[in-house]
Amino acid sequence: MTGTAFLNRKDLIGLLLLGLLIVVVLPLAFDIFRLNLIGKYLTYAFVALGLVLCWGDAGILSLGQGVFFGLGGYCMAMFLKLEASSPEATKIQSTPGIPDFMDWNQITALPLFWRPFHSLTFTLVAIIAVPVLVTFIIGLAMFKRRVGGVYFAIITQAIAAILTILIVGQQGFTGGINGITDLRTLKGWDIRTDHAKYVLYFINASLLLGSIVLCQYVRHTKLGRILVAMREREDRVRFSGYDVANFKIFVFCFAAALAAVGGAMFTLQVGFMSPSFVGIVPSVELVIYCAVGGRLSLLGAVYGTLLVNAAKTMFSEDFPQLWLFAMGALFIGVVLAFPDGLAGIYQSYVEPHVERLLALLPGRSGPGMAAAAPASRPE
Amino acid sequence: MLGYSFGELGSIFAMQAFAGLILFSVFVLMALGLAIIFGQMGVINMAHGEFMILGAYMTYLCSHLFSAYLPGLYSIYFFVAMIVAFIASGALGLLVEWGLIRHLYRRPLDTLLATWGLSLFLQQAYRSTFGAREVGVELPNWMMGSTNLSDTIQIPINGIFVMVLTLLITLAVYLLIYRSRWGCQVRAVVQNRTMAGAVGINTEKVDRYTFGIGCGIAGIAGSAFTMIGSTGPTAGQLYIVDTFLVVVFGGAQSLLGTIASAFTISQAQSTMEFFLSGSMAKVLALLAVVGILMLRPQGLFVLKVRR
C-alpha cells in the first residue's frame, strides 16, 4: 500500500492488455454479429466484478445477482419500451400508447410504476437506485442480524425465485415469460443498426474498464482491506470497533449497482430483457463466471466470463448435449482443483516467467491486480 | 365467494385443506432428506432435487419392468420401487460423498457450487438416458380413484397413500436419529466433531452414511412424487429452493421444526391459491418466509447447543 498509486505497474499493464483486447483486437477480429455477442458477455462481466468484491474479498456469496442484473435491465427496457410504444406506433391496439403486451392482457391504462420511465434521466437514476435500494433493504435486514454465509446464499436464491415467479405471473405489467421485447430507439436513435451496435459495444467496453479501475480503487483503500479482514476473521474486525454490518451492506450494494449497469447495457445491446436472465439458474451461472476467472482477481473475472461464455456458445452450437456435462464438470473441477480459478493458475504457473521478464525492465513491481495476494500473506 | 352455498364452501375448504396436506406430505418427504444432510451435517446439497428425480426415474423403470415381466405382481410394484429408489439414490449419495463432498467440509460455499455442478451433470445425464420429455408412471388399480367422504367432498386415494407413507418415513427418521445408536453418533459428530472423534466415533464413516441415507430418503420422496406429478429431467430444480426454505425456516437442526415449517408453508400456499392466482400465492408464501427469516434468522425451532 503505497500512497495514492492504487494502480501499480503490473496492474496497469494488465489493464492495458485487457483494454487492447476488448477495444482493439476483438472488434477487428469479429464481425458485428459476433461482436454483439461478445458485448453481451461483457455485460455479465460487470456482475462478475461485483462478485469479486462481494464474494472474493468480503466472503459474502450472493446467489441473487441475476435479480440486480435483471432490475437494471428491466428499468432500461421499460424506458425503451415506452419509447417504442408511442401512440402513433401502436395505433392498431385497442388502447394506443401503452406497450403491446399490456394491450394483449386487457390493460387499458399505463400502470403507475411505469409512468416515471418516460423520462430518460429518471431511468438512468433508477437503473442504479432501484437495485441498490433493494439490496440495501435486504442487507440491512440480514447483516444487522448477523445472517451470513450459507443462509444468506439461500435467502438471496429465494429472492431470485420470487422475482422470477412475480415477473412471469404478472404478465400484464412485466411482459411475462417473454419479457420486454421489440425495443427500437433510445431518444430517437435506432439501437438496432450495426453502427449503433458498434457504438454501444464501445460504450460498454469503456464502462467495464472504468468499473475495473473503480473496483481496484475500492480494493486498494482501507475499506477494501476491512472487507478482506471481515472474510478472514469477522469477530476480530468487530472487536476492533468496526461495524461489520455496514461494510457488508456497502459491498453488497456496490456489487448490485455494478450488476445493474451490466443489465442496462445488456438490454441496450441485445434489444430485450426477459425473466430468463433473472432467475436461479442464471444467477448461479454468474457466480461460476467469477469462480472460473478467479474470485480474487478483477481481470480474471472478466477473462473467466469471456471464456465460459465463448465455450458455452461453441458447445451449444455444435454439441448441445455436451454443454451441461461440460458446465457441470467445470463447476466441480474449479471448486475441487482450482479454487482460485484462472487467476490462480496464472499466478502459480505463468507469473514467475512474466516476473522474470519484468525484472529486466527498470522499476519495481508489487502485487498485481491480476493476481491479488491472499489476505493471509503479509504485504 | 358469491354463488356458493355454505355447504359447498365448506367442502371447497375441506378439499383445499386436503390438497394442502398432500403438498405438506411432499414437502416433508423432500425436506427430511435435506434436514439430515443440511441440518445435521451442514452440507448444502444443491443436487438434492436430482437425487429425488433419480428415485422417480427408478420408480418409472420399475413400473415398466413389472408390467413387462411380472404383470401378476404389478399391484405391489410400488413398494419394490421405493426400495430400489432408496438404494439407487443412497448408493449415488455414498459415491458423491466419497468423491466430492468429503473434500469440501471446511468450505460450505464451495460445496454449494460443486453440488450445483453435480446437479447440472445429473440433469443432462437424465435427459440423455430418459429423454427430455416428462414421464409419468401408471398407478396400479387400487391406488386410483377417490373416496367420497360426503356427497361433495372427494379425496384421492393416492393422496392418502402419500400421507401415510410420509408418516411412516418421518417416524423411521425420528427413530433413526433420536433413538438409535447411529443417530446418537451422528448428533455427536455434528455438535463437536473433534470430541466425537476422540471418544472413538469414526467420523468419516458417520459422515458418509449420513449423506447416503439423506440421499436415499430423497429417492423415496421422488418415488412418492411420481404418484402426484410427472417427472422430467429438470423437475428437481423446481423444488430445491422450496425445500431449502422449508428446512431453514424450521430451524436447520430441528426435525420437528422442519415438519412444522413444511406444514405452515404448504397450508399457507394452498389456502392462498384459492383466493389468488397460483403464482401470486407462491410469491406471497415465499416472501412471508423470507420476511420471517429476516426477523428470526435462526428459524422457528432452535436446538440449544453450547458453542
What are the chain A neighbours of B121 within 8 Å (beta carbons)?
324-325, 328-329, 332
Q: Find the residue in A nearest to B129 (Cα).
A: A321
Of chain B, the percentage scoring pLDDT greater than 70 comes to: 93
> Does B4 score more than 90 pLDDT?
no
Question: Cα dihedral sign for A262, A263, A267, A270?
Answer: positive
The whole-number average pLDDT for the span B118-129 is: 89
> Does B3 score more than 80 pLDDT?
no
Candidates A142, A169, A291; nearest CB to B280: A169
Residue count of chain B, please give it: 307
Residue count of chain A, please give it: 379
Chain A CB within 8 Å of residue B245 CB: yes
Mutate to test the interface with B, among A136, A289, A335, A340 (most CBs of B within 10 A): A335
Which three cell numbers, joined as nine digits, stand for A273?
A: 430483457
Alpha carbon of A142: minimum distance to chain B alpha carbons (Å) = 6
pLDDT of amino acid A368: 45
Which three cell numbers, joined as nine digits, stand for A51?
A: 462478485
Close Cβ partners of A269 (under 8 Å, ≥ 6 residues apart)? A36, A39, A40, A43, A197, A200, A201, A204
Mutate to test the interface with B, among A138, A155, A167, A319 (most CBs of B within 10 A): A155
Mutate to test the interface with B, among A140, A146, A154 (most CBs of B within 10 A): A154
pLDDT of amino acid A208: 95
Q: Find the residue in B nearest to A291 (Cα).
A: B113
Residue B271 lies in a domain: no
What are the chain B neighbours of A325 within 8 Å (beta carbons)?
120-121, 124-125
Chain B CB within 8 Å of residue A169 CB: yes
Domain count, chain B: 1
Chain A CB within 8 Å of residue B91 CB: no
Alpha carbon of B30: minimum distance to chain A alpha carbons (Å) = 16
Test A284 with B116 for CB contact under 8 angstroms: yes
Alpha-carbon distance A294 to A311, whole Å?
A: 17
Contact B77, B54 (CB under 8 A): no
The string of DSSP letters for A278-332 reads TSHHHHHHHHHHHHHH-TT-HHHHHHHHHHHHHHHHHHHHH-HHHHHHHHHHHHH
Residue B226 lies in a domain: yes
Test B293 with A145 for CB contact under 8 angstroms: no
Chain B CB within 8 Å of residue A125 CB: no
ipTM value for the complex? 0.81
In chain A, which stretches have pLDDT less than 70? 1-5, 362-379
Query: Which helix (DSSP H) or strand (DSSP E) does residue B147 occupy?
Result: strand B146-148
Per residue in A313-357, pLDDT (tens digit) is: 888 888 777 888 888 888 888 888 888 888 888 888 888 888 888
Close Cβ partners of A301 (under 8 Å, ≥ 6 residues apart)? A45, A48, A49, A51, A52, A289, A290, A293, A294, A295
Chain B CB within 8 Å of residue A124 CB: no
Candidates B114, B123, B248; nearest CB to A331: B114
Which three cell numbers, joined as nine digits, stand for A313?
A: 456458445
Chain B CB within 8 Å of residue A20 CB: no
The whole-number average pLDDT for the span B50-61 is: 91
With CA atoms as reference, report the closest residue to B282 among B48, B107, B27. Answer: B27
Contact B220, B169 (CB under 8 A): yes
Domain boundaries, chain A: 9-360
pLDDT of amino acid B90: 94
Per residue in B233-275, pLDDT (tens digit) is: 888 877 788 888 888 888 767 778 888 888 888 888 777 777 7
Close Cβ partners of A69 (under 8 Å, ≥ 6 residues apart)? A43, A44, A47, A259, A260, A262, A263, A266, A277, A278, A282, A286
Close Cβ partners of B259 (under 8 Å, ≥ 6 residues apart)? B28, B170, B250
Chain A CB within 8 Å of residue B95 CB: no
Which three cell numbers, joined as nine digits, stand for A267?
A: 438490454
Q: Find the residue in B nearest to A166 (Cα).
A: B283
Which three cell numbers, joined as nine digits, stand for A158?
A: 429465494
Chain B CB within 8 Å of residue A166 CB: yes
Residue B98 lies in a domain: yes
With CA atoms as reference, report the closest residue to B50 among A168, A324, A150, A287. Answer: A324
Test B44 with A150 for CB contact under 8 angstroms: yes
Residue B284 lies in a domain: no
| Mean pLDDT estimate for chain B | 82
Candidates B114, B241, B248; nearest CB to A280: B241
Using CB atoms and an 8 Å cut-off, which of residues 181-240 of chain B contact chain A?
237
Per residue in B155-207, pLDDT (tens digit) is: 778 788 888 888 998 898 889 888 888 888 888 888 788 888 899 888 888 88
Test A142 with B297 for CB contact under 8 angstroms: yes
Alpha-carbon distance B34 to A49, whole Å?
A: 32
What are the chain A neighbours of B245 within 8 Å (beta carbons)?
154, 158
Q: Which residues pair with A185 in a beta bridge?
A: A190
The whole-number average pLDDT for the span B29-44 is: 83
Full domain range(s) for residue B38? 22-137+154-250
| Residue of A339 and B125 predicted with greater confidence | B125
Alpha carbon of B8: minimum distance to chain A alpha carbons (Å) = 29
Tell me how far the alpha carbon of residue B190 is from its chain's centroid: 21
Residue B304 lies in a domain: no
Alpha carbon of B280: minimum distance to chain A alpha carbons (Å) = 7
Candidates A165, A329, A336; nearest CB to B279: A165
pLDDT of amino acid B27: 82
**Angle (CA) B189 B92 B70, round 5°:** 130
With CA atoms as reference, report the closest residue to B282 among A277, A170, A137, A152. Answer: A170
